[in-house]
């Protein structure tokens, strides 16, 4: 995080950067963190941890958050779940000064309306530290953090012991991938190559494997993705066969069956180099779009399937 931004956001408060790209500490009496680069690099997140105290607020939280959104141009989203205020700020221009204003106004509102600092999970007024669970940040007390870590480990062990059925999993993956294949053909008929169809095929295949097989693991993910690649190849050929059938009808006035058009794909590719080049170009672009669109989803599903987790306490 650039030092100039750090100084603007810190003001006179003892905020420090830990972990990287996260400023944390206390503003007034309230735990806060400011995180750079959520949703890529376009936004910042500001979080202030507090709950209602023994007296009801004189000014309602919803009204304050509405006022904050309308009063500070870079604020795009605000929320309060009873234990934390979360504010999303657009990353542009003098964002450091705007974040500082957000912190000052939020903490001033909380202090004036009787809010008290608390743990984000149990809600108790106890000492807290900034923690991360699979890259999600929260201020938690020792007890809640240890409880969550134990729960994650128990889940990991339970998943490792769970058995699955590869054969029925493959059936489920095939059925799921075919949904994406149908969507691929429909979109191709409109003149587009859509990564969304590959994403649908990948997600449905993985979910189908899990549903029919009882559990998805690394082997199941690999098998599902191979099935997705095969179904996309088949869908691409089906789409090309429909294009050939349409072209033959329009140019030569003939009415070939779909199967005749499908069987003629190699002949058309061999006779017309431009058709062959377009065939491979569209297929490779389709695979690339599928990989890009599906990567994050496949990664998350793999982590969930193994119960793998990463924690930190700062």
DSSP per residue, 261-291: HHHTHHHHHHH-HHHHHHHHHHHHHHHHHHH
Cβ-based neighbour number of residue 208 at 10 Å: 25
pLDDT of residue 39: 60
Q: Give which of 257, 22, 215 is closest to 137, Cα–Cα.
A: 22
pLDDT of residue 40: 63
Sign of CA dihedral 10, 14, 17, 23: negative
d(CA 272, CA 274): 5
pLDDT of residue 56: 87
CB 305, CB 210: distance < 8 Å? yes
pLDDT of residue 123: 96
Please report the domains of the chain, with CATH numbers, ordered by start residue: 3-152 (3.30.1460), 162-305 (no CATH)
Q: Give which of 73, 88, 152, 82 is closest to 110, Cα–Cα.
A: 82
Q: Give which of 78, 142, 83 is closest to 117, Cα–Cα.
A: 83
Strand 75-80 to 84-90 pairing: antiparallel
Q: Calculate Rg over the CA atoms of the chain.
A: 27
Strand 22-27 to 129-133 pairing: unpaired
**Paired tokens of 266:** 């190699």
Cβ-based neighbour number of residue 283 at 10 Å: 18
**pLDDT tens for the 314 residues of the chain, in order:** 889 999 999 999 999 999 999 999 999 999 999 999 876 678 999 999 999 999 889 899 999 999 999 999 899 999 999 999 999 999 988 899 999 999 999 999 999 999 999 999 999 999 999 999 988 999 999 999 999 999 999 988 887 777 788 999 999 999 999 999 999 899 888 888 767 888 889 999 999 998 999 888 888 889 999 999 999 999 999 999 998 998 888 888 888 899 999 999 999 899 889 989 989 998 898 899 888 888 888 888 887 777 888 999 99
């Amino acid at each position: 995080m650039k030092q100039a931004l750090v100084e603007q956001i810190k003001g006179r408060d003892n905020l420090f950067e830990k972990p990287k790209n996260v400023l944390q500490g206390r503003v007034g009496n309230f735990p806060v963190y400011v995180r750079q680069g959520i949703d890529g690099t376009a936004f910042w997140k500001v979080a202030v941890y507090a709950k209602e105290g023994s007296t009801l607020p004189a000014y309602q939280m919803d009204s304050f958050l509405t006022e904050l959104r309308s009063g500070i141009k870079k604020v795009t989203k605000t929320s309060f779940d009873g234990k934390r205020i979360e504010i999303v700020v657009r990353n542009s221009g003098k964002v450091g000064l705007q974040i500082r204003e957000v912190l000052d106004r939020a903490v001033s509102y909380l202090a004036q309306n009787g809010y008290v600092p608390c743990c984000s999970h149990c809600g108790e007024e106890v000492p807290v530290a900034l923690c991360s669970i699979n890259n999600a940040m929260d201020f938690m007390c020792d007890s809640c953090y240890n409880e969550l870590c134990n729960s994650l480990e128990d889940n990991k062990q339970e998943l490792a012991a769970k058995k699955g059925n590869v054969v029925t999993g493959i059936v489920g993956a095939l059925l799921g991938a075919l949904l994406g294949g149908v969507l691929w053909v429909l979109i191709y008929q409109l003149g587009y190559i859509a990564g969304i169809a590959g994403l649908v095929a990948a997600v449905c295949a993985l979910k189908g494997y899990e549903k029919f097989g009882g559990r998805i693991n690394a082997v199941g993910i690999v098998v599902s993705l191979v099935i997705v690649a095969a179904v996309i190849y088949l869908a691409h050929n089906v789409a090309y066969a429909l294009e050939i059938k349409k072209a033959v009808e329009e140019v030569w006035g003939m009415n070939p069956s779909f199967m005749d058009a499908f069987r003629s794909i190699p002949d058309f590719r061999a006779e017309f180099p431009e058709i062959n080049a377009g065939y491979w170009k569209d297929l490779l672009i389709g695979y690339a779009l599928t990989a890009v669109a599906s990567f994050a989803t496949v990664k998350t599903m793999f982590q969930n399937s193994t119960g793998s987790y990463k924690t930190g306490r700062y």
